[in-house]
Chain A
Amino acid sequence: MLLSLRARLLLWLLLPLALFVFVTDYMSYVAACQTADLLQDAALLSSARTIIEDVDWENGALTANIPPAALEIFESPYQDHVFYKVVSGRDRLLGGSPDLTLPAGSTRYPVFYNTRLGDLPIRAVAYERQLYDSGKAEQVTVIVGKTQASRQAMLEDLWRPQLIRQWLMLALVVVLVPFGLTMELRPLMKLKNDVADREPMELEPIRVHHLPSELRPIVDAINQCIARLKLHTTTQRQFIADAAHQLRTPLTLLNTQVQCATQYDPSDPALTEALTGIRRTSQKMADMTSQLLLLAQAESVSLPRVQARVDLAAVVSSVLEELVVAAQRRQIDLGAELAEGTYVAGSESLLAALVSNLADNAIRYTHEGGSVTVLCRREGSHVLLQVVDNGPGIPAEARAHVFERFYRVASDVEGSGLGLAIVHQIALSHGGTVTMAPGAGRVGLVITVRLPAWRNEERE
């Protein structure tokens, strides 16, 4: 089973064509044979007639003078051997090669036949004539034969050019079909690249302009599939957002109830401990629902909708203002190195969530007394955001998984496990990338977010 379209199409063309060429070549070979035989036979006959013209009575006996013209007729570059034999009556040899055999039966009319002389295959003609002289009648038979070299040459001249033309045609087919297919399959290859290069969440239909009509049905089918997928994904996201939203009210209720309970000065320390535990747990759930909502929000944003000009450095400083208390609590030296002109296109609230999640993670995972620095600067056509800490870092084998939802590197640190998934999603939806590497001297972690810089400077 050949899977390549090219090979299969080539086979479809090549096999019938080759068969056709074979048959027509055979037929033209047969025709060429007939033509060559006809011409050769005509020459043999005219030579035989010339010879028989010159057989004459001389002193009451028949003599044969072979005129040169009778043999010159066969002159050719192929130097055929020509044999003749003149016989009078039944077997009186008047001249020529005695070994040349007569055909069986009557030679009243010219008889063409194939024979052999020694080892040589011979084509010969036998021609018979009655010669009369003073009441005497004598029957004279002339046989002229020749070897086949010139006939063979003529046959090849007649047949070979066509043979060459047809095989050339086949060769052209072999070359042109794959070439043509490669050229014509380029839209298909482009389509393949279009589909293969898509971002996982890029659910826009494929454009059908400039596509060959044969590809339209495929693209239409893919687009329908994408539309269904999009609907499904939207429903799914909406569900997550709704679920997270619906969880908020009972969580608020729980928080308030716990708060009320703690106010009744409990004499039992075990009760106080339980209440503190409940509060912590409900806070964790609250954080997680917020993160889930944020993630759903980040996933539903597509780039063309978020084209506001945002100063990333300003976002960083306002986010750090919020986080300074958490940093202080863990005695972490929180700082920033911000440059000018760090404008990107995007949604300010989502970018704030991105910075906040990165810095918050760094503060959570860095040991007490460590340091966390957020850097923001322009680098070519990108704005670079880096969060550098001197914490434990992330082992290389875990790095591939940290952007997955609910993946946790350390289980002893509180967190939703959604932080980096949110960061990744927000960076993606802003056309950016997130990478991570160990810090200088293999201490700590550097997370780098690269976002396309705001380009429409003149629109300010």
Chain B
Amino acid sequence: MKLLLVEDNVELSHWIVNLLRAENFAVDCVLDGESADSVLTTQRYDVVLLDMRLPRMSGKDVLARLRRRRDNVPVLMLTAHGSIDDKVDCFSAGADDYVVKPFDGRELVARIKALIRRQLSDKSGWLMCGDLQYISDTREFRHSDVPLGLRRREHAILETLMLRQGKTVSKTTLMDSVFGLDDEPSADAIDIYIHRLRKHLAGSSAQIMTLRGLGYILRTRDAP
């Protein structure tokens, strides 16, 4: 996997490169926006780490020019502001994700990996949540390459959660996804299915969390 790091602080970029190389990434590094722009026109990368504030050309401008060339390389913005406005700016400029400085090294690596995985799944037609894999063609769930033995309604619920992973899914939405017109919808039944699904996912790093009053969320177990 080949990454490009665009960061003007020499010391910081040196250490980020160290960190990423230890994670077995190949990393190129440039110090300003203009060189980033010219490198990106010639080279192909799997992920670009782009600082917002750069000398000569801002990270946002680099990103805008990249997207104008219809280059869909995943871009992870490094921003020093944490405000929502800033995040919205990042996304509207075409970024795929962002981390706010000061970030944790583990978080950076996790997000890069997630971006790569998302890109892979876009190409191959599957979704991942931790080590839980969903193959869109066959609509099959796999954990460590072993298919999960799910019943029809359990499958429907997990599918709904997977397609909106990281977001709260209300009980009503889950009920709609499970019950046909001939069924008697029951909120208690959903609790039972969730309970069973949690047992199925016990060995996986994906888990279903409850937000009382709001619904359920499928997301990866937090690293301790």
Taking Cβ atoms with an 8 Å cutoff, the residues of A that contact B are 245, 248-249, 251-260, 263, 279, 282-283, 285-286, 289-290, 293-294, 297, 317, 320-321, 324-325, 328-329, 333-338, 348-349, 352, 371, 373
Q: Could you mark each residue 62-73 of chain B with 1 if its beta carbon is under 8 Å from any beta carbon of chain A, else 0?
A: 000000000000
CB distance from B5 to the nearest CB of A (A): 11
- Check: B1 CB closer than 8 A to any chain A CB: no
Are A256 and B82 touching (Cβ within 8 A)? no
Residue from the list B80, B100, B105, B222 in contact with A256, Cβ < 8 A: B105
Chain B, 192-224, CB within 8 A of any chain A CB: 209-214, 217, 219, 222
CA of A293 to CA of B81, assembled, Å: 9
Contact A248 B211 (CB under 8 A): no
Task: Give Cα A205 to B105, complex, Å.
Answer: 48
Residues of B within 8 A of A329 (CB): 222
B82 touches A293 (CB 8 A): yes
Chain B residues lying within 8 Å of A255, measured Cβ to Cβ, are 102-105
Decide if A337 touches B168 in the complex (CB within 8 Å).
no
Known: A260-B19, A317-B168. A324 touches B209 (CB 8 A): yes
Cα A282 to Cα B15 in complex, Å, equals: 16
Q: B80 and A245: CB pair below 8 A?
A: yes
CB pair A249–B22 under 8 Å, yes or no, is no
Residues of B within 8 A of A256 (CB): 12, 15-16, 18-19, 105, 108
B84 near A324: Cβ-Cβ < 8 Å: no
Size of chain B's interface in residues, with CB distance under 8 A?
Answer: 34
In the complex, the answer to whether A257 meets B15 with C-beta atoms within 8 Å is: yes
Of B100, B105, B108, B209, chain A has the most CB atoms within 10 Å of the CB of: B105
A289 to B100, CA, bound (A): 12
Bound-state Cα–Cα, A317 to B105, Å: 28
Residues on B lying within 8 angstroms of A by beta carbon are 9, 11-12, 15-16, 18-19, 22-23, 80, 82-85, 100-106, 108, 166-168, 209-214, 217, 219, 222
A-B contact count (CB 8 A): 100
Contact residues of A: prevailing secondary structure: helix
Q: Which residues of B contact A289 (CB under 8 A)?
A: 102
A249 touching B12, Cβ below 8 Å = yes
Q: Does B102 lie within 8 Å of A348, measured CB to CB? A: no
Distance to closest chain A CB from B166 (angstroms): 7
- Is the CB–CB distance between A286 and B84 below 8 Å? no
CA distance A359 to B36 in the complex (A): 41
Residue among A253, A293, A337 making CB contact with B11, cutoff 8 Å: A253
Whether A335 contacts B102 in the complex (CB less than 8 A), given A256-B15, A259-B19, A324-B217, comes out as no
A157–B16 Cα distance when bound, in Å, is 111
Known: A317-B168, A328-B222. 20 other contacts (CB 8 A): A245-B80, A251-B102, A252-B103, A255-B104, A256-B105, A256-B108, A257-B15, A259-B105, A263-B22, A286-B102, A317-B211, A317-B214, A320-B214, A321-B168, A325-B209, A325-B222, A333-B212, A334-B211, A335-B212, A337-B213
Cβ of B214: which chain A residues have Cβ within 8 Å of it? 317, 320, 335-336, 338
Cβ B82 vs Cβ A336 within 8 A:
no
Q: Nearest-CB distance from B95 to chain A (Å)? A: 17
- CB nearest to A322 among chain B residues: B166
A325 touches B219 (CB 8 A): yes
Q: Is the CB of B105 within 8 A of A335?
A: no
Instruction: Say how far B89's CB is from chain A's closest CB, in angstroms.
Output: 12
Contact B166 A321 (CB under 8 A): yes
The reply to whether A260 and B102 form a contact with Cβ atoms under 8 Å apart is no
In the complex, what distance in Å separates the CA atom of A338 from the CA atom of B166? 20
Known A324-B209, A329-B222; judge A258-B101 contact (CB<8 A): no
B15 touches A336 (CB 8 A): no
Q: A251-B102, A258-B105, A352-B84 are in contact. Are A335 and B12 (CB under 8 A)?
A: no
Return the 9 tightest CB-CB contacts between A and B, nearest first. Answer: A335-B212, A259-B105, A349-B84, A251-B102, A252-B102, A286-B102, A256-B15, A336-B213, A335-B213
Neighbouring B residues of A259 by C-beta, 8 Å: 19, 104-106
Smallest CB gap from A297: residue in B = B83
A260–B22 contact, CB under 8 A? yes
Known: A286-B102, A336-B211. A253 touches B168 (CB 8 A): no
> Considering the chains assembled together, what is the distance between the CA atoms of A282 and B106 in angstroms?
14
